[in-house]
Amino acid sequence: MTPLRFALTPGEPAGIGPDLCLLLSRSAQPHALIAIASRELLEQRAVELGLAIRLIDVDPARLPDTPAPAASLYVWDTPLRAAAKSGQLDSLNADYVLETLTRAGQGCLDGLFAGMITAPVHKGVINEAGIAFSGHTEFLADLTATRQVVMMLATRGLRVALVTTHLPLKDVAAAITPDRLQRVSRILHADLVNKFGIAQPRILVCGLNPHAGEGGHLGREEIEVIEPTLEGLRAEGLDLVGPLPADTLFTPKHLEHCDAVLAMYHDQGLPVLKYKGFGAAVNVTLGLPIIRTSVDHGTALDLAGSGRIDCGSLEVALETAYQMAAAQQRGQ
């Protein structure tokens, strides 16, 4: 595969994102990876970590096409708004964080990058700056003018997408409408085909209620909403199995014959995935016109600058972005 170019954003400057970027750069990558970050911040954090990493400034008008050598990192310098200290949040840097995301996302739209990989941001400190921000996913959906996106987490051997994401449990049932279920299922199917190169993806669908409603005795959402909607989608050619009881769906007998699981709500599907692959899982935003993957953990302010962190999730996020870009290339 011809080397491609990817954007890497380090997220919250007081968190472990800058550390991850530096630790990762100890080894050579197969593609040109451009950190959109403050050079000053990376230099400071490298000193804290005792790392000898060569930071290579790049011109956004002439970005490199070849991978950087081991122990070096390409940097598109994006100045901080205030000095950053490990573990200490500062709302003055909210604009900095959003600028890195904008440069990466717009760069993907403009064809500068084959995809973007994001380290964790701190939603609270961005909101404290007076900026309405609910997360990477929503920000990138707005940037790319995307109406509907789907959150999917993946680890080696398991992908789990969500019909609903960050909702109180009491609101979940009402949010599972035929329209939402149709849109999410179509996006999941389309991206498994176009971005993962799976010609005929097989998707297992969880029921909402215990035992998938037990024939209506434990809830009627399966009968009245989920089953009819899935039947209509099957008529379009989607390979959807279910609704199945979630307590038995996540077993080898079922999982070995599927490409993804569609869970109805956050804590139905993600605890299983994180048990299987915590520290080696990736968050993928489906439905965007660009490739975006992210780590599956937070900013870990208490570990910033300590060196006591694991790069596993970022490594999987990179690996997944590379694989998605390659699949997209093959499909063109």
CATH number, domain containing residue 295:
3.40.718.10
The answer to whether the annotation marks 137 as part of a ligand binding site is yes
Half-sphere exposure of 160 (CA within 13 A, CB side): 28
* Residue 134, domain member (yes or no): yes
Distances (CA, A) of 185 to 87, 121, 152, 174, 202: 40, 28, 12, 18, 11
173 and 95 inside one domain: no
* Other CB atoms within 10 A of residue 332 CB: 5
Q: Are residues 182 and 263 in the same domain?
A: yes
What pTM, to 2 d.p., does this model score?
A: 0.91
Q: Domain for residue 93, yes or no?
A: yes
Mean pLDDT over residues 288-293, rounded?
97
Number of domains in the chain: 2
Q: Provide the domain limits for residue 92.
A: 5-146+288-331
Give mean pLDDT, residues 22-48. 97
Asked if residue 66 and residue 107 are part of one domain, the reply reads yes
Domain identity same for 180 and 239: yes
| pLDDT tens track for 76-121 | 999 999 999 999 999 999 999 999 999 999 999 999 999 999 999 9
The count of other CB atoms within 10 Å of the CB of residue 147 is: 7
CA gap 171, 175 in Å, rounded: 6
Residue 211 in marked binding region: yes
DSSP for 117-142? EE----HHHHHHTT-----HHHHHHH
* For residues 48-53, average pLDDT: 96
With respect to residue 281, please indicate whether it lies within any of the assigned structural domains: no
209 is in an annotated binding site: no
pLDDT value at residue 332:
61
Q: Do residue 163 and residue 139 come from a single domain?
A: no
39 and 105 both lie in a single domain? yes
Quickly list H helices, 87-226.
Answer: 94-109, 123-128, 136-143, 169-175, 178-194, 221
Tell me if 48 sits within 8 A of 121, measured CB to CB: no
Would the annotation count 254 as a binding residue?
no
> What average pLDDT is seen over the chain?
95
**Contact yes or no for 165/262 (Cβ under 8 A):** no
Quote the CA–CA distance of 230 and 234 in Å, as a whole number: 6
Is 154 found in the same domain as 137? no
Residue 3: its pLDDT value, please? 81
Whether residues 11 and 133 share a domain: the answer is: yes
Check the annotation: does 136 bind a ligand. Answer: yes
Q: pLDDT tens digits, residue range 253-277?
A: 999 989 999 999 999 999 999 999 8
In terms of domains, do 141 and 158 share one? no
In the sheet that 292-295 helps form, which strands lie side by side, from edge to edge? 54-57, 72-77, 32-37, 5-9, 115-118, 292-295, 281-286, 150-155, 158-162, 260-263, 202-206, 239-244
Assign 3-state DSSP to the chain and report helix, strand, coil percentages, each to 5: 40, 20, 40
109 and 67 co-located in one domain:
yes
307 and 267, same domain (yes or no): no
Cβ neighbors of 42 (< 8 A, separation 6 or more) are 10, 18, 21, 22, 35, 53, 55, 73, 75
**Is 283 annotated to bind ligand?**
yes
Q: What is the pLDDT of residues 295-327, one digit of tens each?
A: 989 999 999 999 999 999 999 999 999 999 999
pLDDT confidence of residue 1: 58
CA distance 87 to 81: 17
